[in-house]
Chain A
Amino acid sequence: GIQVEQSPPDLILQEGANSTLRCNFSDSVNNLQWFHQNPWGQLINLFYIPSGTKQNGRLSATTVATERYSLLYISSSQTTDSGVYFCAVGYNTNAGKSTFGDGTTLTVKP
């Protein structure tokens, strides 16, 4: 199956700093999502981005499918950005079932 590797595993920032999270995957995929799991455990959809670049406020994401990686950028981080960020990848066949990475745990300090 597909292998998904996220880096770094842990990240500690001061409020206002910028960060880049990376997701590498082992095979060509045509589904890719980024999620934020907040401290209460809820999974929040950030981006559906199998290729290209998208932006939503302070967050943006880029996927280079041919090179098998995706990047999530967080600018001017806030304490509410704390939590775990997951990348999930898969194919459009098999009902789009996804393989998750182990996540990046982000802590933003005031």
Chain B
Amino acid sequence: NAGVTQTPKFQVLKTGQSMTLQCAQDMNHNSMYWYRQDPGMGLRLIYYSASEGTTDKGEVPNGYNVSRLNKREFSLRLESAAPSQTSVYFCASSDRLAGGYEQYFGPGTRLTVT
């Protein structure tokens, strides 16, 4: 099991460029999430998907769009990148077990917008 995988690992964009961050999980989880982590801070939720075909906004959704392509894949798109979107982006997945939700994280994508 690879768990949660993310591509790319690193990316540099110029202001105004667009890009899509890819995430896939092989744990058959229903729920998936995108977070961003700024220096010295905890993770903040951008968007999440409770199940295939549904997506909802998190705490900081402005400037982003998401697609839940199928049960395995959840992508994050920046339509017009801004320097304020320089951050490390983490994808996670989880499922509703008897005890609740336990999230598992990918390795992250380090994005710099100049």
Indicate, yes or no, whether A interacts with B: yes
Pick from A14-22, A73-81, A86-94 the stretch touching chain B.
Answer: A86-94
Give, as a whole number of angstroms, the nearest-CB distance from A86 to chain B: 6
A97 touches B90 (CB 8 A): no
Pick from B16-24, B78-86, B100-108 the stretch touching chain A.
Answer: B100-108
A50 contacts across to B, CB distance below 8 A: 99-100
A97 touches B45 (CB 8 A): yes
B45 contacts across to A, CB distance below 8 A: 97-99
Total count of chain A residues near the partner, CB < 8 A? 26
Instruction: Please tell me the size bucket of the interface on B.
Output: 20 to 34
B100 touches A97 (CB 8 A): no
Q: Is A28 an interface residue, CB under 8 A from the partner?
A: no
> Could you list 6 examples of A-B contacts with CB < 8 Å?
A33-B103, A42-B108, A50-B99, A95-B31, A98-B45, A100-B44
